[in-house]
Structure 1
Amino acid sequence: MVHYYSADYVMPVTSSPIKNGVIAMDENGTVLGIYDNDSVPKNVEIERFKGVLIPGFINAHCHLELSHLLGKIPQKQGLVKFITEVMSNRGADEDIVYEAMVAADKVMYANGIQAVGDHVNSTVSAKVKEASKIAYHTFVEILGLREEEAIEKIDEAREIEFSFDSEHASITLHAPYSCSKVLFKAFKKSISDDNIISIHNQESEEENKLFRYKTGEFLDFYSQIGFPADDFKAQARNSIQTYMSYLPARNRVILVHNTYTSLKDLDFIRRMGRDVFLCLCPKANLYIEDALPKVSIFEQNASNIAIGTDSLASNDTLSILDELKVLHRHFPELDFNKTLKWATINGAKALSLDEGLGSLEVGKTPGLLLLKNMNHFKITDKVEMERIA
């Protein structure tokens, strides 16, 4: 059976908005046709809505297995203290962890999220993902500061990766402050060209201090976990300008957070000529560091921007619409046509899911959402979302 949906505007994302547009979908949610008001097939029943129809959102960064930490980590303490709190609190009864993940997965789908780039440290989320309506790409994180552990850590990640969908899973380094130079080099040799990398980048100024001057809170953190940082040398430049050259040149890289990424850093990334996406997680940035990336310079100097929610350890919702509201509230000059691409097709491309998701195009199964209470394509706190398909 074919369903026809219309609204004040249909926004395919990869083409111009259509006033009073109509979209045809089959019962599986596959797009069969997109029409302006004059080209709709005759004698069909059209369900009409007031608002804007868009494809489902893509959450480019999450940690589903931390869902049980909702409300347990204090806010605005900075990244190093946040990491310490997560390490202390993440252990919990398996049933509690599982139930929290199931609930978070359902909430994300209800919030219009069609796909998720999810970071894991274990196999605990595999069953949830198998039963989910959401498409997941799973990133198995590798952490290892001790040089002698590098190969072992990669092998452990490979074992975890086997529990997830082989077409939509990859191993990835966690962050520059949690991986040794030897691990970076071993990782570079061990992965194939289609292995997508998703790495936490410049989430705190402490990361830049560590790499630039070998000072700051990370040195205290290393001392607490018993890691001697004697061999670490100051690089006199920000972290991204240090570790990017250690990553394989042919692989897509998603840089996540980028809260303290500068214009010089963006220029460095651009000059590297690599396939890089920059994922922004504004609510988590405010939760952890009480700071936001300099979005205006990102908009002007980086075309491949995506949106993520991070986890319920660092957020009180898992909603891409809420992330957009924060962005538009703090940066009112942003154009919704552009940020909608960040929240949909760009995330799908980052996760290599754009063949079927991220835009309203014939043959895709992208989900269909209705944004209500929009005036002049402006995202405000009054905007609400309803899942149509």
Structure 2
Amino acid sequence: MRLDTSAELDAFRAEVRSFIRTHAPGRKTHTGVRVPAPALVPELRRWIARLHDAGYLGRSWPTEYGGLADPRPEPAFVVAEELARARAWGQIGAGALAAGALLAHGTEQQKHHFLPRLRSGQDLWCQLFSEPEAGSDLAALRTRARRDGDHFVVDGQKVWTTNAQYADVGYLLARTDPGAPKTRGITAFALDMRAPGVEIRPLREITGTADFNEVFLDGVRIPADRVIGEVDGGWRVAGASLAQERGSVAARSAELLDDLSGLLALAARPGPEGPPPLGDAAVRDRLGRLATRVYVADLMSKAVQSRMAAGTDEPTDPAMVKVFFGDTNLDAVSLGVQLQGLDGLLAEGDDRAVDGGYWQDALLYARAYTIAGGANEVLRTTIAERALGLPREPRS
């Protein structure tokens, strides 16, 4: 199946594009999954509510919670593409993941409490999954939650938590049965991020910003009615929530296509040491090869979208797109810095930096795309074993 456009879909795209142009609260100045300036957060809460009210977010939710009766995936891909193409803010935090978990496994009380607050932007969520010793191997997490009457008491540490400093609720995975096999003794919780015992420490990164945080949990009490799904059934809950990340497949290719246009403009610009780099045959060859990879990445994304729309997608489809995107994006932004010659040494924030230092910041961030959401090395093994049927690597 091919993901062809239609007059209806083209009209919807034009509608979304106009909505973003009219209502979006400014343009993102950094690439990647970044946190907004504190002063922008209230406006982003209102923007999230507008996107939901317009039917651009939460399309697959049940109608009683604001979803559509016919939540086809194609319009959701269009929304993700247009937000990425405009470099506009989407839904910050882990709201889509939390909604997926609640809709698949939450109680009616939880749905009626959390989903309207998520739609209105009243609650921002963060994802409390990764730990210092449990990143790519998430099932190795050590944060403990023990039952104490009508509560669970949680102790442990989480890391790489985006937007924790703004979050109202945390989507937490913690181990409730240390004696069970790794994936069977984990429970999912909705954690009040302002509860006593929650400490958030920003992590300053190589980009100079603090998009990630460490979160320390010291005797944090969570009411038992905040368990999402069954006790010890958190692994299934986490898997269900990932289905809500479909739009990211579309957004990544849109970002790459936008950067390719920027690279071509950069190559045509005279440099401080001489004529435009585009006059060099080696540069043209490199740009041509990179352009081919960018368009292949876009075609891979469209093919996965097509299979999702047809219900024939495979679990390894997003992994293949993610690996190819991560490597291609890293090479693209590396070229963006190299095309500047000596000016590539200037940092973001220097008035002399080309494009405000966008390419330098993007290069520093690019490695995150090869790690976040599953390290590319781990995902290649997953693809080899599950998609290609190659022999499994020896396990110690």
TM range (shorter): under 0.3
* TM-score w.r.t. length of structure 1: 0.28
- Which protein has the bigger strand share? 1
- Which protein has the bigger helix share? 2
* TM-score w.r.t. length of structure 2: 0.27
